[in-house]
Structure 1
Amino acid sequence: MPSSLRWLAALVLLAVAGAIASGAVLYVETRHSNQMRAEAITGGNSDAGSSIIARVGCGSCHIIPGITGATGRVGPSLQGIATRATIAGVLSNDPSQMRRWFKHPQSVLPGNGMPDQPITDREARDVAAYLYTLKH
């Protein structure tokens, strides 16, 4: 192989490696930015929220990205919930309404399939923070 082709191949490989690295950095920065925003608007901790979601068993009914074993199909998928206009089709999608829905879904929409959850206000803020990171 001529040396000029070797240099060209090396430059192409370097460009591809640079593009992959740039994409990875952009992904991490976007994810961190989403997490910071979610925590700011909810007053919660998204890391704690993911633990609470796993502990309470939300994944037995819902598909929840990032939660191991959260593959339930009884309730709706929570993928992209941060970008939805409403919660359960009846509440505006804002942090206070989301917390209300988590804790007391039966008082919001009697007879629906979601049971009231035995979580504190702090835990509800943490769960909301996690779910508001789910933009896609």
Structure 2
Amino acid sequence: MSTADLSSGSLFPAAIRATSPHRVLGRFAAVVCIVLAGCGDNPPPALGGDPDNGRLLLRQFGCGSCHRIPGVAAARGNVGPSLEGVATRVYLGGVLPNTPENMVRWIRNPKQFDPETAMPDLPIAEGQARDIVAYLQGLK
């Protein structure tokens, strides 16, 4: 701080006093926006899958015949549980800890984990299962 700044009676340097309050507010708002942009509620899709394709695959494989699935047309089945909020459940099929990796394994081969499950083993490729999981992980 210079002696000129002190003689003006202000606690702020002349460079800060000369800055328009609107300009300071604008800079502050920009910084806040940048910081908050990294705090979104939408994490990257699980396992790098494509959630949009996953939604289409859920319909293509007929998963809605047994499950209620939000966002999937005609998915109003009552054989299996609703898949709304499936990402927040502790277990898959009551037997497998719920992680994205285990969900891929369950979707591809449920009878491996529960031979008595009504869920069929379908010819779902690894990449397709990752896409389905990316969609289902968003149903929180």
TM-score above 0.5: yes
Deviation at 1:105, TM superposition (A): 0.4
The 4+ residue runs of structure 1 with deviation greater than 6 A are: none
Q: Which one of the candidate residues 78, 82, 99 is aligned to 2:83?
A: 78
Mapped partners of 1:94, 1:48: distance in 2: 20
Q: Which has the higher helix share?
A: 1
The offset of 1:107, in angstroms, is: 1.0
User: Are 2:129 and 1:118 aligned?
Assistant: no
Q: Where do 5+ consecutive residues of structure 2 fail to align?
A: 1-36
TM-score, normalised by the number of residues in structure 2: 0.69
Q: 2:95 aligns with which of 90, 93, 106?
A: 90
SS across alignment from 1:51: helix
Give the Å deviation of 1:38: 5.2
| Structure 1 position 65 matched with structure 2 position 67 | no
RMSD of the alignment, in Å?
1.6
Q: Which has the higher contact order (CA 8 A, sep 6+)?
A: 1
User: Between the two proteins, what is the percent identity of the paired residues?
Assistant: 47
Contact 1:65–1:134 at 8 Å: present in 2 too?
Answer: yes
Larger radius of gyration: 2
Q: How many residue pairs align between the two structures? A: 102
Equivalent AA in structure 2 for residue 62 of structure 1: H
